[in-house]
Structure 1
């Protein structure tokens, strides 16, 4: 199961995966959305997108996403985009590569989390600001 973060940061991808496995919580005013359509290219690259809003934080914040498609229960991590937490709405785009035959055009479930890597002593731990999930149309480009 490939997990290729867009920023080349294993820590951001790991935090996103942890966040997507955790029950939904949200900081007041923080928000994340998912676009209705995700894109699949011939080489297996998936692009998912949406919007987010977050406010001042103590650590770096990332938008992490995962995609799955029935009947499989396997979730594939799709990147980790660094977020700007200034209270304004921003667009996010994540991309990742999944083995070409694992996903096909049609309905797919996307999960996204807005995760801060908050310092706790010498170890940054994930602090979930917002989560969302939705069924999208996975379209072939």
Structure 2
């Protein structure tokens, strides 16, 4: 049985809970959840001039086909790196992508990397979900 004091406190607790849900950004679990896509800050530069970026990704089970693509930039040089099909099971996976710049070559030192995770929908000709990650990189042999 609820007494008068408890009856007066319950609406205040409900209001406080509602305000907390609206005003506080995300839940504690969401605040500490892994990023859906990352690019590592160190990349490998091979003797043949190709660059390899790595990182992590996660995507929900039941997603449509999800493609992971990456690019590397150094000065005015750009490399499209090989894409791959992501495994969407809710777990964190590592990814790796390798490619060569279209012209010129990369050298050891500073560069930028970008990865894109694109969820495709069955029956639609465009992605329904796109996540990107950027990183300042150090290229090393």
Structure 1 runs not aligned, ≥5 long: 1-27
1:9-39, CA deviations, whole angstroms, 9 ceiling, x for partnerless residues? Answer: xxxxxxxxxxxxxxxxxxx977101111111
For the pair shown, the structure with the greater C-alpha radius of gyration is 2
Is 2:43 the counterpart of 1:42? no
Give me the CA root mean square deviation. 2.2
Q: Does structure 2 conserve the Cα–Cα contact (< 8 Å) formed by 1:49 and 1:94?
A: yes
Question: What is the DSSP-based 3-state SS (H/G/I as helix, E as strand, rest coil) of the residue aligned with 1:31?
Answer: coil
Could you say which structure has the higher strand fraction? 1
1:58-91, CA deviations, whole angstroms, 9 ceiling, x for partnerless residues? Answer: 4211211001012x1x532111121111111000
1:79 paired residue number: 82
Question: What is the DSSP-based 3-state SS (H/G/I as helix, E as strand, rest coil) of the residue aligned with 1:93?
Answer: strand
Q: Please, what TM-score do these two structures have when normalized by structure 1? A: 0.67
Counterpart pick for 1:93 among 91, 96, 116: 96
Alpha-carbon distance between aligned partners in 2 of 1:134 and 1:50, rounded to the nearest angstrom = 10
Higher RCO (C-alpha under 8 Å, 6+ residues apart):
1
Counterpart pick for 2:115 among 67, 91, 112: 112
1:134 paired residue number: 135
Aligned structure 1 segments of 4 or more residues deviating by more than 6 angstroms: none
Alpha-carbon distance between aligned partners in 1 of 2:135 and 2:74, rounded to the nearest angstrom = 12
Question: What is the DSSP-based 3-state SS (H/G/I as helix, E as strand, rest coil) of the residue aligned with 2:135?
Answer: strand
1:59 paired residue number: 64
Q: Please, what TM-score do these two structures have when normalized by structure 2? A: 0.67
Q: Does structure 1 conserve the Cα–Cα contact (< 8 Å) formed by 2:63 and 2:88?
A: no
